[in-house]
Structure 1
């Protein structure tokens, strides 16, 4: 009996273990080779390109299929409204956590940075930005990961049209359902090379960015990395418990490792969509929830970005020797963090726009932009990990609200059948 249990555990964790070993080897290579480790980056790029190639059709097919098969479109509206509330609440909590961390450990204390002049920047054009956020001018522009939010909106509308078409639309819905299953198998094939691709990526990250972590940004890194890790382990455990008690905690941590290391290595929430979808399915998150929340969450649910936004704000206040105190200052920082993490992330060039928003809202000189860009690059790996894995636990919370506290127990049979097939 004990041997059988050990065999089952090893079988379940075999793939994540391979990935962790590959990442460890990559980190050692990066340390040994230094900047020369960039020669391994093309290997990681091959894996990442395969993931990005499949993401657009995967999102289009899965979302439209899910929406088309939802019997009552009111359910779709309910999922989307609950999703937005969950995203904002978790973003608010993450901003509060980083505010506390930076209060006790100011990230710019004793730091001397010469501010370089930035490239020419253009002012924000709100109306044009809104249009480009939600729409594109040509269908071919939808077929790009750079326009994920317009693609998601198109997929939702397409699925609604299929549902409203009644009997004639049912055949299309069935075809999309079958195609969705094929796409998931396609993802399984691509993930076979994940250990090699992620190992190469980590070698590049450690080799190229390692020296910067020991420079002027070391204190900011020393604040951000532990805070992000604490938020990841502690608060995602709390969210999983709220979603489904101790069973939810076990199920979440049993399945989240692969998406976590994928996001950490690739630095992309979009590239982690396939792994998050697979993990959510194994956890037992309803299909109509996971196939809507995971793709949308990859563009607008950014707890890690909320953490980094607060870090960037306090870092600039420290550099310019401005007091970061007072309720109004804190509230403004939280609102900017949520805006840049939940709203701006869905905008093309959202990362830069979020940084530009910080500079303009507080009246910092334009020379502060490159400082934020460098800091953003350094903290990006853990920020992306927090961003993307947060989508899975958000799906659990949304399912809890929609289906009640026993949702995961009711889905355990389906989850076991899924694991058995794999």
Structure 2
């Protein structure tokens, strides 16, 4: 790119830098808008099916994250060595933005987390006392505003942001070293996601007595729709049709599929965990199991706030990468966003496919244990009325 005047290259880099500042400003507000609402809702929605759905979704997410970390920490050092680290850290000089704005976040990420946790817990307590509805609705609508900002401003602006990041990496020469590593990372990630999907449907098939191959075949339209749309929310109608073909009852698929599209993020956590581990290895940063375990457990909860749009998962996860020593608003945070977006569709496809495996299990539990227990009671009441 040496034949292009440097100031022309600085224009997209400037736009990317301004976007990064806006992102840093929004991140604490995202935490407040989503976490308070999420914790406040803990007092609602009691029920066996809801509890089972949440338990299965969170368990799958954790299992996917831990397997991804163990696989990444074992395989990635084979192709991430000291020479690549040195090349990435020392190669070239980055472009500087033409200007920046004096835009500072209203408060830090840690302050936002503490604030959100305390307010969420006590709003939940107030609601149990039949109070606190004003505050609950305030933060509910605040969260809706943040979601709208993400959908109309942040997520559509991600391509410009990513372009500026990769342009800067190309100018410095580091992009080639990164790509030489991350194409291998993505092969491992996509392979692991596919294996986990197959395993989930095998287990669901064994429990329900259905053919796993048939279940997987019926899931293909949902998988490919998610690949194309990069959105769990947009895939819900197709995924519900996949559930119908797999024999999931109407009441269960209409309950489980939309809910799981929000709370089941196994594929996304596999990608984020793998990318974070790769970045930590490349920059020779600590990546102990204890540190990563806390991060993965947090992701399982934090990603529930992810809007159902391309890039939503990484935007919800990025405030928490400080837990593994990465600055959410720094160059490594920017790198993680860029890397994740390039293969977001595969994580989304894994998420929605897992939703249907969960639906199969819950449908069996519902008809075997819940409906079966209710019917004798109803029949007893009917016989007493007739007598």
Question: In structure 2, what is the equivalent of residue 259 of structure 1?
Answer: 222
Question: In structure 1, what is the equivalent of residue 248 of structure 2?
Answer: 285
From 83, 87, 95, the counterpart of 2:65: 95
Q: Does the 8 A contact of 2:61 with 2:265 survive in 1?
A: yes
- Deviation sequence 1:23-79 (CA, Å, 0-9, x none): xxxxxxxxxxxxxxxxxxxxxxxxxxxxxxxxxxxxxxxxxxxxxxxxxxx997222
1:356, CA displacement in angstroms? Answer: 2.3
**Structure 2: how far apart are the matches of 1:344 and 1:398?**
23
Question: In structure 1, what is the equivalent of residue 306 of structure 2?
Answer: 345
Question: In structure 1, what is the equivalent of residue 131 of structure 2?
Answer: none
1:214, CA displacement in angstroms? Answer: 4.9
Matches within 5 A, 1:129-168: 135-136=140-141
Question: In structure 2, what is the equivalent of residue 249 of structure 1?
Answer: 212
**Structure 2: how far apart are the matches of 1:377 and 1:138?**
23
Question: In structure 1, what is the equivalent of residue 200 of structure 2?
Answer: 236
Question: In structure 2, what is the equivalent of residue 361 of structure 1?
Answer: 323
**Structure 1: how far apart are the matches of 2:138 and 2:185?**
31
- Structure with higher Rg: it is 2
1:216, CA displacement in angstroms? Answer: 5.0
**Structure 2: how far apart are the matches of 1:133 and 1:282?**
41
1:137, CA displacement in angstroms? Answer: 6.1
1:276, CA displacement in angstroms? Answer: 0.5
Q: Does the 8 A contact of 1:79 with 1:289 survive in 2?
A: no
TM-score (norm: length of structure 1) = 0.54
1:351, CA displacement in angstroms? Answer: 2.6
**Structure 2: how far apart are the matches of 1:353 and 1:395?**
25
Distance change (3 Å), C-alpha of 1:381 and 1:137: closer
Q: Does the 8 A contact of 1:242 with 1:397 survive in 2?
A: no
- Deviation sequence 1:107-156 (CA, Å, 0-9, x none): 77135446889997743334569669972269999999959xxxxxxxxx
Q: Does the 8 A contact of 2:72 with 2:277 survive in 1?
A: yes
Question: In structure 2, what is the equivalent of residue 331 of structure 1?
Answer: 293
Count of matched residue pairs: 265
Question: In structure 2, what is the equivalent of residue 382 of structure 1?
Answer: 346
Question: In structure 1, what is the equivalent of residue 366 of structure 2?
Answer: 402
- Deviation sequence 1:169-196 (CA, Å, 0-9, x none): xxxxxxxxxxxxxxxxxxxxxxxxxxxx
Q: 2:41 aligned with 1:80, yes or no?
A: no
Matches within 5 A, 1:311-322: 311-322=274-285
TM-score (norm: length of structure 2) = 0.58
Q: Does the 8 A contact of 1:113 with 1:216 survive in 2?
A: no
**Structure 2: how far apart are the matches of 1:261 and 1:315?**
27
**Structure 1: how far apart are the matches of 2:146 and 2:276?**
34
Q: Does the 8 A contact of 1:132 with 1:347 survive in 2?
A: no
Question: In structure 2, what is the equivalent of residue 415 of structure 1?
Answer: none
Greater shift, 278-287 or 235-244, is seen at: 235-244
**Structure 2: how far apart are the matches of 1:231 and 1:259?**
16
1:329, CA displacement in angstroms? Answer: 2.6
**Structure 1: how far apart are the matches of 2:239 and 2:277?**
32
1:215, CA displacement in angstroms? Answer: 4.7
From 348, 352, 356, the counterpart of 1:392: 356
Q: CA RMSD in A?
A: 3.9
